[in-house]
Structure formats: structure tokens, C-alpha cells
Structure 1
Amino acid sequence: MLTALQYLIVTITIPYITLCAGIYLLQEQLIFFPERVPPGTRYNIDLPFEEFFIPVDGASLHTLWFRVSHPRGVVLYFHGNGGNLEIAAAAAPDFVARGYDVVMADYRGYGQSTGSISSEAQLLADAEAIYRWVAERYPEAQIVLFGSSLGSGLASRLAANYQPRLLILESPYYSVEAIARRRFPWAPSFLLKYPLRSYSWIGQVRCPVVIFHGTNDTVIPFADGEQLATAVTAPLFFYRIEGGGHVDSARFRIYHEVIDQLLGPALVN
């Protein structure tokens, strides 16, 4: 028979192991919140755009390409962990109005992209495939990387590995690992398949880095953006969005003033 101590250990250990197993097996559902749509779905987007599928290992990524007649450059936009391109496309007009083409792609399992996300290495490789697709069409000196929320880590790693003109981050995280540690302090860190340690990449970035972060962000706290900024070694421009929430910088005048300074004012037709 089990002693009282042995019984206590068993009653604690089994639920703990079960919870840890659940965290490991279900973490894609805890991190990624895609909105799938049937192939061929026509998005309700006011701007004209072209559609492409970028091939990656075992899948294809649905991509929108917003184009202007004489582009000043291109903004490669990586969106957050929810929704799809129809939602992310709301960011495009601000850049198109300033004379920039915009390229944005859905991650695996989002929108009309095929496949599903299964590892950090796969997610990062897909981001590189998107960057290479853009770099085949534009000089790197004309590429502006924009990473929003989840996309901030992907954009940071690309900026570390390549030489874009500029890196813009909105509501960035220090690492997903740090977020997971706060939310599940009892779970071993080795269970996390997507640590996405942005701090380890951002210090290798050589182009100017611009960070927007809302003080009322309840998804990725403002302190995360501040902490990430301390790891930047390139020229840094950090903008505190007073009263801002999560990825809503475009609601505030300072965002547009900064974008005007970085990319030029909106063009007059």
C-alpha cells in the first residue's frame, strides 16, 4: 500500500505531468489563432492588389502585393498571431499613400495558406522564403521590414540576417519564452517549441530600428518593448504610445508623424 507521502506525491505528480503534456501538445492552439477561408475567397479590401502563393517546404503561403506606379520602396509586413490577410491589409493604405508597395503573406494555416505551423524552425524558414521573394524584386536598400506583435520576432531575425533599409516593430515581445514563463510559471521552459527569442536577434541588426509600443498593451506589456530596446545596438528610435493598446499605433498622431519622417509624407494625387 502507498504511504501517505507516496500518495501525496502521486496525486500531485500525475496532474502536473498531465498539464505539462497538454501545454506541449496544444501549444499551437495557445499561440496561433488563424482564421482560415476557402481557396479562392475574394477579400473585401479597398486597395487594388495582386495575389500570389509563395512555395515553401510542404505548403504555399498566400501573399498580397499592393503596388504603386513609381514606388519609393516596399514594406514587407509580418502580421500578428490572429486573423488573416483580410484583417492585416488594414495596415497597407498608410504605406501605399506614401508611395510604397506593400507585401504581406499569411502564415501556414492562416487565410488561404496551406499547411500548418509545427515548429519555430519552420516558421522562421517560411519568413526567409517570403523575404527572398521580395528581395528578388526589390533592392535590399528599398526594403522596409515591419513586424507587428508575433511578426516582430520574425522581422527582427530577418533584419539580423539580411540588410534591409529599416526595421519597424509594433508591440514587440522580448521573447515568447518570457511571455510563456509569466503565464505558466510552473511549466518547464524546455516544453516550449516557440521561444522566439527576439532579444537574441535584435542586437545583430545593423539598420535603424523603430519601436512603437502602447502603454496600455495588455497582450504584450509595454515593459517587454522597453526591455527589447535595451538589446538594440543599431540606431534606435523608441516611441511610447501613451494610452495605446495592442497593435493600435495607427490610431495615434505620433505614429503618422514618425512614419512621415521615416518614409516621407503622403503623396498628393
Structure 2
Amino acid sequence: MLLTLMGLVATAYLALLGALWWGQERLLFVPESLPASHSFDFGPDVHEVDIARPDGTRLHALHLRLPAPRGVVFYLHGNAGNLQTWFGHADFYRQAGYDLFMLDYRGYGKSGGRISSEVELRDDARAAWQQIASQYAGKTRVIAGRSLGTGLAAGLAAEVRPELTVLISPYRSMTALAAQHYPWVPGALLRYPLDTEALAPQLTGPSLLLHGDQDTLIPSAHSEALREKLPQARYVTVAGAGHGDVQEFPAYLQAVREALDAAAR
């Protein structure tokens, strides 16, 4: 009976691991779609942009375009929602004098398709950047990421070498984060390792790390570990902030504004 029970437990465990292998997109990504007719109301200087991909998928983005910007903030958002919720701080970037470009990943908002690999995610971010990069020749280029988007932002920044990289609530890697929350799951099972820590040595320019000290989803220890790999980075701990509200704190806004001002000098 003991052997039978052990066999049943092992079978159930393997079945669960199989389900995690094939269905992990549902755990990592929480998209909210929008109808094609949806109208954004962020002001007349915010324009809708389509990015065509080789497989026929069309990605959707919003682009705040000022008359004479200091540069652009290319922002890769977190794992839930869409641009309707993520683009709400456009006024902050207007006041800072920066254009803001933000992409919805596959399946999010008005973007078509669905996410199927890390390589695809990174390729999509790169394609979106390449579509607008030439507009900012000679101006300040900022690559920013929040939560899930920090791994993508670090990879893109390692390639394009912007004047500033901003990582908000970053993780060392998705593998390290999963090990904290799901220690019983083998790391090799994760098809989205998103290894920011491995990319860190390639981020040689100015960087800003921001993290709420009450963040329980991605603890601030992840930023502290990344700082060791990024000795040139400024690290700001936002007292009292959790994971979803860090952008509401004056210390966060002040740190971002100071970094944007310094990058434009």
C-alpha cells in the first residue's frame, strides 16, 4: 500500500509539473484585452502606434509626443492590465519634458496574438524600439521597466546602451523569484528565466533601481542583489511602498525626476 501511495503521489507531482510547463503563461502573464474600437483619453499629444511583426501579429503602443522633447522614455510595463491602466502617469513625463512610449505585449490591450516564448517577448520589445529610435537621435534615451518589464528592459538596454536605464521593482531572475514562491518546482521547468542578474554587467551606463521596502511579491532583496552587479547604479528604497503602489510615493517620483534631469544634461 505504501508503494502504491508513493506511486500515486509521484504521478500527481509529475502531472502538476507537466501542467506548469505547458500552462505557465497563465501564471506569469495576466493580460486584459481591449476592443479595437476602444478610445484612449490621455490627451491629443498621445498617439496610437501599431508595430507589425513577421508572423502577422500587430502590436499596439501609445506614444506621448511633445513639441520639443528632451528625449524619450521607452517603458515596458508589468504583467497585468493594459495601456489603459499603465499610461495614467503621462502628465509626470510631460512635466519632465520627455516623450513616453509604452508597448502592450501580445494579448494585452489592442495587441494581437499571445505570448509563447521569452525570445518572442524580447524580439517584440526590440522591434518596437527600432520603430521609434531614429526619432531620438542626439536626444536622451531612457529604457525603463516595471516588475515583469524589468527583465525585458535590462536586455534591451544591454543592446542599445541608453543614456539611462530605470528598473522599478526588478527581480534578479524569474527563476530566482519562482524559487522563493514555489520552492518545490524545479528551476529548469521555467521557460521564462528572464535573467536580469546575468545581464547586469552589460549595463555600463547610468542606472536607477527603485523598490518599495514593503514589496512582498518581489522583495527588495532582489534590487539589493542587482546593485552589487551594478556599482554605478543609484538605488532608492521607497519607504512604506509595496509592489503595486510604489509609483504613488513622492520619494519615487522625486528619484525618477532627478534621474531624468541628470540624464538630459
> Shorter chain as normaliser: what TM range?
over 0.9
Deviant stretches of 4+, over 6 Å: none
Structure 2 gap segments, 5+ residues each: none
- Give the 5 Å matches for 1:139-218: 139=137, 142-218=140-216
For residue 52 of structure 1, report the CA deviation from its aligned partner: 1.1
CA distance in 2, matches of 1:141, 1:228: 27
* AA partner of residue 21 (structure 2): Y
Query: How far does the alpha carbon of each residue in 1:118-168 deviate from its partner, in whole angstroms, 9 at most, with x for none?
Result: 011111111111121121221275211110111111111111111111001
Q: Which residue identity is paired with 1:162?
A: V
Distance 1:110 1:145 in 2: 20
Q: How does 1:203-242 map to 2 (within 5 A)?
A: 203-233=201-231, 235-242=232-239
CA distance in 2, matches of 1:108, 1:222: 28
Identify the residue that residue 33 of structure 2 maps to in structure 1.
Answer: 36
* Paired residues, number: 261
Which is further off, 41-50 or 202-211? 41-50
Distance 2:252 2:50 in 1: 31
Answer whether contact 2:158 2:203 (CA < 8 A) is retained: yes
Cα displacement (A) at 1:247: 4.3
Alignment counterpart, residue 253 of structure 2, candidates 243, 256, 269: 256
Report the AA paired with residue 238 of structure 2.
I
User: Following TM superposition, by how much is the alpha carbon of 1:92 offset from its aligned partner in structure 2, in angstroms?
Assistant: 2.1
Normalising by structure 1, we get a TM-score of 0.92
**Deviation for aligned residue 1:264:** 3.2
Paired residues of 1:148 and 1:247 also in contact (CA < 8 A) = no
Quick check: 1:215–1:245 contact (8 Å CA) kept in 2? yes
Q: Cα offset for 1:5?
A: 4.9
Gaps of 5+ in 1: none
The alpha-carbon distance between structure 1 residues 260 and 51, as it changes in their structure 2 partners (threshold 3 A), is: same
Q: Report the equivalent of 1:21.
A: 18
Shift of 1:47: 6.0
Separation in 2, partners of 1:53, 1:117 = 17
8 A contact 2:35–2:110 mirrored in 1:
yes
Answer yes or no: is the 8 Å Cα contact 1:78–1:152 preserved in 2: yes
> Are the aligned partners of 1:140 and 1:163 in contact in 2 as well (CA < 8 Å)?
no
The answer as to whether partners of 2:154 and 2:165 remain within 8 angstroms in 1 is yes
d(CA) in 1 for partners of 2:256, 2:185: 40
Deviations 1:38-57 (A, max 9, x none): 11311233563111111123
Structure 2 counterpart of 1:75 = 73
User: Helix, strand or coil for the counterpart of 2:50?
Assistant: strand
Say yes or no: does 1:8 pair with 2:5.
Answer: yes
Q: Contact 2:70–2:139 (CA<8 Å) still a contact in 1?
A: no
Identity %: 38
Shift of 1:22: 1.2
Q: Secondary structure at the match of 2:194?
A: coil
Give distance in 2, aligned partners of 1:6 and 1:122. 44
Give the conservation status (yes or no) of the 8 Å contact 1:167–1:209: yes
